[in-house]
Amino acid sequence: MVKKILKGLGIFLLLTVIVLAAAPFLFKDKIKALVLKTINENVDATVAFTDVDLSLLKNFPQANVTINELSIINKAPFEGDTLFYSGELNLKMSIKELLKDETETMNLESFSSSNALVNVIVNKEGIANYDIALKTDKKESESESKPFNLNIQNYEIENLKVSYLDEGTKMKLALNDLNHSGKGNFGSQKLDLDTKTSTRLSFEMDGTNYMNNVLLKLDAVLGIDLEQMKFEFKENKALINQLPLEFDGFLQMLEDGQLYNLTFKTPTSDFKNFLGLVPEAYAGNISQVKTTGEFKVSGKVEGKLTETTIPKFNIELASNNASFQYPDLPKSVKNIIIDTHIVNETGLMQDIYVDLDKLSFAIDQDVFNAKANIRNLDTNPLVNAELKGVINLANVSKAYPVQLEKPLTGILKADVTTKFDMNSVEKSQYQNIQNSGLIQLTGFQYEGEEMAKPFKINNTEVAFNTNQIRLNAFDAKTGDSDLQINGSLDNLYGFLFKKQVLKGNFNMNSTKFVVSDFMSPTTTTNEEGKKTTEAVKIPSFLDCSLSAKAVTVIYDNLNLKNVTGNLAIKDEAVTLSNLNMDVFGGSIGLTGTVSTKGATPKFNMDLGLNAVNIAESFTQLDMLKSIAPIANTINGKLNSNIKLSGDLTQDMTPNLKTISGDLAGQLLSTTINENNSKLLSTLSSNVKFLDVSKLNLNDVKASLSFKDGKVALKPMNLKYEDIHMTIGGTHGFDQSMNYDVKFDVPAKYLGTEITSLLSKLTPADQQKIESVPVTANLTGSFTNPAVKTDLKSATTNLASQLVKMQKEKLLNQGAGALGNLLGGNKDTTSSSANPTTDSTKTETPKNQVKDAVKDGLNSLFGNKKKKNE
C-alpha cells in the first residue's frame, strides 16, 4: 500500500515538473502578445526586443517573464535617439495570472532590470524625447482594459545609467552605476516604500563642470500617497561623498510641476563633515583624522518647480575655529573659518546668489583669507572677490593627502581684489573688469611627465590692474636653460572661466636656451597596454606673440648665437618672423611656420644663409648634408636662399623623406680638399688632366631642387685653368647618384702622342684644334662611386683627325714638287737668254725637287722599303 502511495506521489511530482517545464511553451506566445499590446497601446516610438522567455521554475510558485534586450527608439524630432535600453527586464507574477482571459488584467508582483540606459533630451524648443505617450481620448482609454496592472511588492534596478541633456540651458546631468531597490505594497493607495539607492553624479552647466563623479547614497523610507502623488521623507540617511545628511518634509507631483517642502542638515557637527564633501580618492580615510571645531550643513527648500519658477532655498555651510590633522602627516590645518550661503529668496532662477563671507585657514604661521559673492547666476554672473594671504606650497602635501608624484615647493603670496561680469569676459570688454593687487610665486619647482626636465620658477609676479593683467616678471630655469619673460595677458578670465584661448604679448630673454630642455614627447598607453610616444604638441589654448632674444640657443648639436626674432603662437602653430642667428661663421635669417595641429607635425620655412662656413653647415645639419653631400670637401663661405617644407619627427626635426623645396646659392673664397671625398679622388684618377684642388669655385652659382628624397642640380658651369666644365644630374638622400661632368679640354692636355702630332701642324692648323669635348658619368654612391669617361675614344678620334690633317698637308707638298719635276713652272726665258749659266746653278732646282718628293713620299708611306729593294 505504501509502495503504491509513494509510486503515485512520484508520478504526480514527475507530472508536475513536466507541466511546469512545458508550460512556458504553452503561454509564451500569449505573454509576448500581451507585452506587444501593452507597449503599442501606450507609446509612440519604435520598440524592439530580441525575445520573451517564460519560466515557472525560476521563482516558483511565481511565474517569471524575461524580456531580453528591450529598446525604445525615438521618432522625429529625435529620430534614431535611444530613449531606453535594458539588457534584461524581469517581470514576476502569480502562475494563476497566466490562466486569465486576454481581456482580464494581469497583476505584476515585482520587476527587475539590469544594465539599462535612460537617455533624456530636451531640445532648444523645450520638447522632451520622453514625451512618447500616445494621445488618446480620456473616456475611451478608461473604458479599455489594461493588459498589466501594477500590484508590485518589490523591485530592483541594477547598473542603470541615466543621462540628461537640456539643450536650451546647456545643462548636462549624468547618473552612473545607479543601483536602486524598493519594497512596498503598490496595491495600496498609501504605502511606506523602503528604498536603497547609490549612484555617482556628474553635473555641468554652460560648459562649467560643477560636480564630477560625486558619490550619492540614500537609504530612506518614503511615505507614498499615490492618490495625491505625494512622497514624504520618514526614516532616511544620505551621503554626499562622505558627508552625512538627513532629510525631513515632502515632495508632491502637481499638474503644473512639483511642490517642495524639505529641510536637511548634518546629523553631527564634527568637522569631519567638511572633509566628507571631498571625494574619498582625494580625502582619504577621514575616520582616523583628528579634528576640532564644527562644520554644519543645513538648508531649506520650499516652493514650486514649474516652467517659470523654482523653489526658494537657503543653504548654509558654517565652521568656526576648526582644525584637522591626518595621523600620518606632520602638519595641521588650523584656525579654519567658513561662512557660506547659497540663497534664492524670490523663486526666480536669476535671483540665486552665493555669498562666501569668509574663508580662512592657517598652516604653521602662514594665513590665507578669501571672500567672494556671485550674483545673476542664471543670466550674467557678476563676481566680486578678494584674496589675501600666504601659502607655503611645500606644506600643502604635509597637511593634506594630495596625490603628487613629486612634492611642490614655493611660496605663494596674494593680495588681489577683482570684480567682473561674465558677459564682459566673453566679449573681451576689458573696460568693465576692475582689478587691483599682486600675486607672487617664488621658489616654485615642478616635475611631471609632460615636462622634459624639472621646472623651477625663481620668481614670478602678476599685477592686476584696471583693464589689464600684467606679467611683471617671470624668472625660471629648466635643465641648462634660463628664461626671463614679461608682458601682458589680455583675457585671463576668459581662459579660466569660458575656456577661451589665452591671449597675450610677451618679451623673452635668455642667456642660454636648450631646446631639448623643453621638448618632451607625450607618452600614452594604448589598448594593448603598450606605451607609445606622441610628438610634441603646441598648446591649442594659446594665442600670443613673443619677441625673443637669446645669447645662445642649443638645438640638437648646433650652437646658435645672438638669436633674435618674433614668434606668434596660434591654432597649434608657431609662425616665425625676422628670426636671425649667428652660426657657422656667418648668419642665418629664417621665416616660416611649424604646425602640430594634425596627426603629423609639419613645417614650411624660408632660410637665408649669409657667408656661412660651407663645410660646417653642410656636415652638422643632416638636412643640408643630404641635399649636398659633396659640400664637406669645400672650404669657404656660402650665400644661399633655401625654401623647404615637409613633416617633422616626434623630436621636431625634419623628416628627410618628406621634405621638398629648392636652394639657390653662391660660393665665396672657396678651395677644395679632394681627400675628403671618395668621389673626387676617383674622378681625379680617371681624368688625369684634372687637378680637383685647383678648381676655381669663386662666385660660382648653384641651383638645386629636391622632392621625394631626390635632389636635382641645374647644370652648373665651372672652370679649371683653361678647361671649361658643366656639371648636372641628380642624387638621392640615400646617397645614390647619377651625374654627368662635361669637359671642354684643350688638345694639349691629352697626352704626348697628341702633343707630337700637334707639333707637326702649322700654327694656323693648330688653332683649328682648340678643345675636345670629354664626358664623365658619375654613378654608384658618394661613398662607393663608379666613374666612366669617354676620354680614350675622344683621344683616339683626335689622333686620327690630326694624322689626316698631316697627310693632307704632305700630299699638297708632294703634288707641288712633282709639278716642278715634270716641267711645271719652267723658266724658258732665262735658259735661252743665258746659255752660258753656271752648271751648279742649273742643277740646284732639280736636286731640291728630288729631295722634296723623297721626303714627302717617305713621310706619307712611313719610309717603308719595297720588298725587292
pLDDT, tens digit, 9 for 90 and up, residues 469-479: 899 999 999 99
pLDDT digits (tens, 9 = 90+) for 192-224: 889 999 999 888 877 767 778 888 999 999 898
Share of the chain above pLDDT 70, in %: 79
3-state secondary structure of 656: coil
In sign, the C-alpha dihedral spanning 854, 857, 860, 862 is negative
- Helix 791-821 / helix 752-759 crossing angle, nearest 10 deg: 20
Q: Residue 76: what pLDDT?
A: 84
Tell me the DSSP string of 244-255. EEEEEEEEEEET
Dihedral angle over CA of 664, 668, 671, 677, nearest 10: -20
Can you tell me the distance from the alpha carbon of 641 to that of 630, in angstroms, rounded to the nearest whole number?
A: 18
Q: Residue 105: what pLDDT?
A: 63
pLDDT digits (tens, 9 = 90+) for 263-299: 999 998 888 888 888 777 777 778 889 999 999 999 9
Q: Residue 2: what pLDDT?
A: 42
Burial class (CB in 10 A: 0-12, 13-18, 19+), 63: buried
Dihedral angle over CA of 388, 393, 398, 402, nearest 10: 100
| Residue-range domain boundaries for the chain | 38-240, 256-385
Q: Residue 764: what pLDDT?
A: 67
Of 44-48, 78-82, 246-250, 255-259, the poorest mean pLDDT is in 44-48
Can you tell me the distance from the alpha carbon of 624 to that of 175, in angstroms, rounded to the nearest whole number?
A: 59
Indicate whether 341 pLDDT > 80: yes
Can you tell me the distance from the alpha carbon of 411 to that of 224, in angstroms, rounded to the nearest whole number?
A: 57
Can you tell me the distance from the alpha carbon of 530 to that of 257, in angstroms, rounded to the nearest whole number?
A: 53
Report the Cα 160 to chain-centroid distance in Å.
34
Q: Residue 11: what pLDDT?
A: 40
- Average pLDDT, integer, range 122-140: 69
The cell for 447 is: 616635475
pLDDT bucket at 733, cuts 50 / 70 / 90? confident
The cell for 510 is: 635668455
- Average pLDDT, integer, range 598-620: 88
pLDDT bucket at 421, cuts 50 / 70 / 90? confident
pLDDT digits (tens, 9 = 90+) for 617-657: 888 887 888 888 888 788 888 899 999 999 988 777 888 88
Dihedral angle over CA of 541, 543, 545, 546, nearest 10: 0
Taking CA 116 as the corner, what is the angle to CA 203 and CA 28, rounded to the nearest 5 degrees? Answer: 160
Contact yes or no for 373/340 (Cβ under 8 A): no
305: region left, alpha or beta (phi > 0 left; psi from -120 to 50 alpha): beta
pLDDT digits (tens, 9 = 90+) for 678-722: 888 888 888 878 888 777 788 888 899 989 889 999 998 888 888
Q: Residue 865: what pLDDT?
A: 41
Q: Residue 237: what pLDDT?
A: 92
The cell for 511 is: 642667456
**Hey, which bits of 129-189 come out as E strands?**
148-166, 171-183
Check residues 83 and 262 and name the one with the higher pLDDT: 262
Q: Residue 5: what pLDDT?
A: 42
Q: Which amino acid is at 571?
A: D
Q: Residue 102: what pLDDT?
A: 57
Residue with the three cell numbers 638645438: 555
Q: Residue 276: what pLDDT?
A: 82
- Average pLDDT, integer, range 149-175: 84
pLDDT digits (tens, 9 = 90+) for 501-541: 888 899 999 999 888 887 765 555 655 566 666 667 788 88
Share of the chain above pLDDT 90, in %: 30
Q: How many CB atoms lie within 10 A of CB 503?
A: 19
Indicate whether 24 pLDDT > 60: no
End-to-end CA distance of the chain: 161
